[in-house]
Amino acid sequence: MRDQFLEQLQAVFDDLAAICRQVESAVAQATLALMTGDVLTAERVISADVDIDRARERVEDAAFDILSLQQPVAGDLRTVVAALRMVSELERMGDLSVHVAKIARLRVPEIAVPEDARPTIERMAAVAEDMVRRVAQIITDRDVEAAIVLGRDDEEMDQLRRTSFAELLSDDWGHGVEAAVDIALLGRYYERIADHAVSVANRVVFVVTGESPHAVSSH
């Protein structure tokens, strides 16, 4: 019974890591579409989101099967519920990538991000993508230390968001309201992807240690 539980749980975590890699690809491709104005790449991100949604349903069904058939308690129960929450967050990260792709598509044949706003947005996108890549590995390895480090890296995203606002609200901003609104929303989407990445990493810490990252890192 216990072996079967652990085996089923392992399959769920393998699926979570696989979904996380799909999200990583969605973030990367959405950013590519954004920076190049490539409508086909944007369309691919938008239409591929259904695969993430379906994978989410499979994980949910598997988690409910484990809860029903294995009737886990205590830490095992919390682990299965954590997996349900992780898959919701991963799906949401996929949705946010779609939002980025839709802004890219909306501005074709133009490019939504003006030249002098690119460095900050590119850095935001790189930070978000890197965080998603690391979370996939953290899920696979159940790596508590890497998860705690990830939580701290969120600060760079907050700083980038402030830089981006300063750029588009400065007197030198010469790209008008539409580009500013696009960039404010893009910043919000990348920031939320990073927030969810941190949250998924925190759930890995909880699954492995039974404690929140704050409690673990203060030991």
Please list, in sequence order, all residues whose beta carbon lies within 8 angstroms of the beta carbon of residue 78, skipping any fewer than 6 positions away.
206, 207, 210
168 binds a copy of itself (CB under 8 A): yes
Burial category of 136 from C-beta neighbours within 10 Å (exposed 0-12, middle 13-18, buried 19 and up): buried
CB 29 within 8 A of CB 45: yes
Stretch binding a copy of itself (CB under 8 A), from 26-34, 108-116, 152-160, 184-192: 184-192
CB 139 within 8 A of CB 147: no
Q: Is the CB of 84 or the CB of 149 nearer to a copy of itself?
A: 84
Stretch binding a copy of itself (CB under 8 A), from 10-18, 42-50, 76-84, 113-121: 76-84
Q: What single-letter DSSP state applies at residue 75?
A: H
In angstroms, the CA 206 to CA 81 distance is 11
Among 17, 32, 67, 126, binds a copy of itself (CB under 8 A): 67
Binding mask 81-120 for a copy of itself (x = CB under 8 A): x--xx--x--------------------------------
The residues of the shown chain that bind a copy of itself, judged by CB under 8 A, are 64, 67-68, 71, 73-74, 77-78, 81, 84-85, 88, 165, 168-169, 173, 176-178, 180-181, 184-185, 188
